[in-house]
Structure 1
Amino acid sequence: MKLARVLERVPRRFDPARLAAELARFGERDWIPCPSGALGSSAIPLVTAGGSANHELALAGPARPTAALGRCPYLEEVMGALGVPVARSRLVRLAGATEPPEAEEWNYHWFRRAPVCIPLVTSAAVTLSCGGEIAHMAAGEAWIFDNTRPHRLHNPSGESCVHLIVETRDPAGLLREQGGSLALEPYRFEVLSEEEVAALTEEILADPGRRPMTDAERLAFVETIEQIRRRWGAAFRRFGHQSTGELAYQDIILDVRERVMPKLAPKSAGMKAAAVIDTMLWMSPPAPRRFDRPATTKRSTDAEPLGCPEFERPLFVVAAPRSGSTLLFDLLSRFPDVWTIGGESHEILRAIPELHPAARGYSSDRLTEADASPGVAGALREGFARQLVDRRGQRYLDRPAHERPGRLRFLEKTPANALRIPFLRAVFPDALFVYLVRDPRENISSLVEGWRSRRFLAYRGMPGWPYRDWSFLLPPGWSSLEGRSLVEIAAYQWKAANAAIEEDLAALPASSWRRVSYDELIRRPGEVLLSIGKLAGLRWDEEVEKATSGVLPLSRVTLSAPSPDKWRRHEQELAALLPSLEPTTAKATTHADDLPQ
C-alpha cells in the first residue's frame, strides 16, 4: 500500500523481555522458509489464510490464528494492542551478517495492505531501509513502512535477528488509540472495483516509460485498454465481490497479461499498475520441488512399425482429479514388471477422432462399451504401445524387436478415466481397477487450487462455455456450471467422478477392483501397495520396498506445501455443499481403509 510517509514509528511500545520469552517457546523445527527474503529467510506464521502454517495471500481464505500463535498469548496481546484488523502475521528471522537484496511489493495483496514491523531480538547494528530512509529499531518498537518502495532489513551483526510482521489494511488506525483484543481482517472475495481498474489503467496510459510504438500501435493499445475497462465494468456489475465471478475476472486479467504488459517497460509506473491487476487473483505460494520419474529419451512417431504386445490384466487407477492418484501411480510404477506411458493418456485418446469430445458435441468425457469399436480399441492399444516405458524410463520401441516382451503388465492413470470404466473394460476385458478415494473437503479444495494454477487445462475455447478454459475432467451436465464459483464447479466434478466410479465398479466382479483411501496411502504406503500387488499379481522387490519406506516424496503435481487443514480456506463454501455430497461420500469411503492381511 502506498503510504504518505515511507517509514514511520507507531506510537506503541512493547516489553522486549516478554517478546523474547515468547520467542523462546519455539524450536528450529517450527521455522519454515520465507517466499521472499527481504525481511528474513525463515518464518513462523501466526495468522494465515485458513490457519495452517502457510504464506498464502489474504484472498485465499479467512484470516485465522495458527497453532503457533496459540502458544504465545503475549504476541496475541501485542497484535490486539495495535488496534487494527490483522490480515496476516508471522515471525521472520534474518541470519547474522546478512544483507538481502531489496524488494518492492507490487501486487494486489499489498495494494490493499501495509506491514508493521516489531523487533523481538535485534541489535543496534540492525536497520530497516525503505525508499531511501533508514531506521534503527529497538526491541519492542513498532514501525510501519511502505513496502511498495525498495526495502530490506540489514543485519551486519553476528547473531540472527527476529521481527514480528503484522499486515493490515488500516494503517491510519495505528495512529489512533491503543486497541484491545486481536481483531482479524474480515474475509470476502474482494477484487478491484470498476473505479480502481479505471484509475490503474489510467496510470498505464499516462506512463511515459512505455515501449516505443507507432501511431497505429498506440491507437490499438488505447483501444485494448478501453476494451478491458468495458469488460471489467460489465463483469463487476454482474458479479461484484463474489467468487462466482472468478473465471470471468480471470479471462480479463489474462488479456492484461498478454496484450498490455508486453508493451510496458520493466519497473515502470505503468508496469507496476498493471502488476496490481495481473496479481489480483493470486492466492498460493510458489510450488515446492517436484518428484520426477525418469524421462523418456524421445517420443514415438506413427512412422515406426509396431507389433502391439498383449496387455495382460492391465491395472487402471481411477479417481477424482487431485485425489492423490499421481502419487499412487508413481509408487505403483516402481514394481519391476510394470510398464506405463510415462504420464497421462489425454493426447492418445483425443488423437482417435471417435474419442475426442468434439465428436460428441463436447457432451462430456464419458465413454462406454458402445464407444469401443474394434477399430477404436486397436488404435488405443497401439497408442499405448507406442509410448510404453519401463520403470527405468527405457522405451519399449527402443528395444530390438526380438527383445520386446510379447505380453506385459500395464499401469495407467488418467483422471478422466473415472468416467470411462465401461469403455476400458470393453477394450481390456481382464482389466483391473484401483479406486482411490480422498476426503471430499481436501479433494475439492485441491481441485480449486488446480483450477487457479491453470496447470491442468483440459479444453480451450470449448463451445457453450463462456470462459477461456476448462480444467480437469468434463462431467455430464457441465454446462449448468456457468456462473458458479470454483468451489461449486470442483464439488460437481468430485461428485460426478466418484458417483460414476461407484456405479461402474458395482457392475464388475469384486475380484477385479479394490478401493483404497488417500489417508491410508499416506499413513501406510507399504501395506496399500502390498494389497494392490496381491490384487494384480505384481512382484515385490527392493525398489518397491525403498519407495514405500520412510517419508513419501511430494507428488510431481503438488502445487503448494501439504497440510491437513488447507481445505479450511474454503470451509464456509464447503459447509453449504457437503450435505449434497453426503450420499456419494458415504459410498466412496465405505471400507476404503480395510486392507487384507
Structure 2
Amino acid sequence: MIRLPRSYDAARMQSELRLLEDLERVSAGYAGEGNRAWESISLIAPGGRTRTGDGHQRLSQQASEEYAPTDALRRAPYLAEILDGLACPKRLVRLLSLGPGGIIARHRDSFVSFEEGMLRLHVPVVTHPDVDFFIDEERCDWKEGELWYGDFSRFHRAHNRSPITRVHLVIDVLINDFVLGLFPPDLVEAQRARGIRVAGEARRDEAELQRFAFSFRLPAGFVPPGTSYDPLPAPVDGRVQVQDGTLIVMVNEQPLLRLVPSSGGTLAVHGLAPGTVMECDFDGGRVVGATLVSGVDGARFHLHVQAA
C-alpha cells in the first residue's frame, strides 16, 4: 500500500456526506450478515444512475452506457472537485459505508491491478482507530482526508469494531501518465517489468468477449462455491459485462469478479477460490445457461440466466 501525494479537507467531505443522507444506499457486498452493513452510494456510475441496480434495463444498454456523474455527485461540489483534480479516466466511484459491527469478508478484486489497467484508490472520509482493515494481513491505518493506493487484487478484509459508521471515497481509475506520476518512480519502473496496461492500449477483441455477456439472478440462500460466506439474505440481480476489454461480474452494480476465457465456453473465475470456473451454454450465439464450478471441492451451482 502507498500513501499518494494528495490530501483533502475531511471536514468538507463529511459536510457533503451529511447532504446525501436521504439517498437510498445499495449493498456493496453479496453475502453475509456483516455485509448488510456495507453499503454504497454511487458518484460516478454507468448512465449516471445513483441507484444503479435497475433490473429492468437491458444488459446491452447497461454495458454500452458511459460512466457519468450521478445526482449524488451534483449535490457534492467538493467531492466533484476532488475527482476533477485526478486527471485520469474514472470508472465506478462510490462512497462506501461500513456500519458499527460490520464485516467485509476476506476477498480479492482481481480486476484492479497495474496489469489489468485499473487501480482502486481510497480516501477515508470518516474512520476510527477501532476499524480493523487489512490487505494481505497488513493493517491499513489510513487517516481521514488521505489518498491511498492499495493492491485490492490481493486478499483484504475489514471489521468495524467502533461505534461509528466508517465511510471511504473509493475511486476506480484507469492508468495514464497522471496516475503513474502519483507513484514513486522506482515503483513504476519495477512494475513496468511485470506489466502495466495504460488507458487506450489495445485490449482483447471486445466482440469475442461480448458473446459471454448475460444477466442472472442469485437466489436467497446463495453461497459462492468454495467460500465460507453466509447465505445471501435476499435475491440479487447481476450480470456479466465487458468493461475496458475485460469480462467483469457485476452484482448490485458493484464489480466483484473477473472472468478470463480459457477453452470453449469455459471461463476462469478470478476472485474466488483458485481453480473455480464458469461453464457457459450457448444457443444462437448467446448464453442461455451458466454453471459455477468450485476449484475447492468441485461443487456446482447453476446460475439462473435471465432472457435479454
Query: Per the shorter chain, which TM-score range?
Result: 0.5 to 0.7
Equivalent residue for 2:150, pick from 127, 145, 148: 145
Question: Is the 1:59–1:283 contact (alpha carbons within 8 Å) kept by the matching residues of 2?
Answer: no
In structure 1, the residue matched to 2:170 is: 165
Query: Which sections of structure 2, spanning at least 5 residues, go unmatched?
Result: 184-198, 215-225, 228-239, 254-279, 289-303
User: TM-score w.r.t. structure 1 length?
Assistant: 0.31
1:40-439 aligned within 5 A: 41-53=38-50, 54=52, 60-107=64-111, 111-170=116-175, 173-174=178-179, 176=181, 192-193=203-204, 236=205, 241=206, 245=207, 248-250=208-210, 280-282=246-248, 284-285=250-251
Against the structure 1 CA distance between its residues 156 and 59, is the aligned structure 2 distance closer, same or farther, given a 3 Å change threshold?
same
The CA distance in 2 between the partners of 1:250 and 1:36, in whole Å, is 24
For the pair shown, which has the larger CA radius of gyration, 1 or 2? 1
Equivalent residue for 1:34, pick from 24, 28, 33: 28
Task: Look up the SS of the partner of 2:14 in the other structure.
Answer: helix
1:123 shift after superposition: 1.3
In terms of mean alpha carbon deviation, does 90-99 or 33-42 score higher? 33-42
In structure 1, the residue matched to 2:16 is: 22
Against the structure 1 CA distance between its residues 32 and 280, is the aligned structure 2 distance closer, same or farther, given a 3 Å change threshold?
same
Against the structure 1 CA distance between its residues 142 and 177, is the aligned structure 2 distance closer, same or farther, given a 3 Å change threshold?
closer
In structure 2, the residue matched to 1:460 is: 283
Question: Is the 2:210–2:241 contact (alpha carbons within 8 Å) kept by the matching residues of 1?
Answer: no
Cα RMSD, aligned residues only:
4.6
Question: Is the 2:47–2:66 contact (alpha carbons within 8 Å) kept by the matching residues of 1?
Answer: yes
Question: Is the 2:16–2:78 contact (alpha carbons within 8 Å) kept by the matching residues of 1?
Answer: yes
1:468-547 aligned within 5 A: none
Q: Which has the higher contact order (CA 8 A, sep 6+)?
A: 2
Question: Is the 2:38–2:103 contact (alpha carbons within 8 Å) kept by the matching residues of 1?
Answer: no
The CA distance in 2 between the partners of 1:251 and 1:276, in whole Å, is 10
User: TM-score w.r.t. structure 2 length?
Assistant: 0.57
In structure 1, the residue matched to 2:296 is: none
Against the structure 1 CA distance between its residues 174 and 42, is the aligned structure 2 distance closer, same or farther, given a 3 Å change threshold?
same
For 2:88, the aligned partner's letter is V
The CA distance in 2 between the partners of 1:90 and 1:169, in whole Å, is 15
Against the structure 1 CA distance between its residues 468 and 35, is the aligned structure 2 distance closer, same or farther, given a 3 Å change threshold?
same
Question: Is the 2:105–2:158 contact (alpha carbons within 8 Å) kept by the matching residues of 1?
Answer: no
Query: Which sections of structure 1, spanning at least 5 residues, go unmatched?
Result: 1-6, 179-186, 194-235, 255-265, 268-274, 288-454, 462-466, 471-555, 561-597
For 1:156, the aligned partner's letter is R
- More strand per residue: 2
Aligned identity (percent) is: 24
1:65 shift after superposition: 0.2
Task: Look up the SS of the partner of 1:100 in the other structure.
Answer: strand
- More helix per residue: 1
The CA distance in 2 between the partners of 1:132 and 1:171, in whole Å, is 29
Equivalent residue for 1:12, pick from 6, 17, 35: 6
For 1:126, the aligned partner's letter is V
- Report how many aligned residue pairs link the two structures: 218
Task: Look up the SS of the partner of 1:21 in the other structure.
Answer: helix
1:59 shift after superposition: 5.1
Task: Look up the SS of the partner of 2:5 in the other structure.
Answer: strand
The CA distance in 1 between the partners of 2:37 and 2:150, in whole Å, is 16
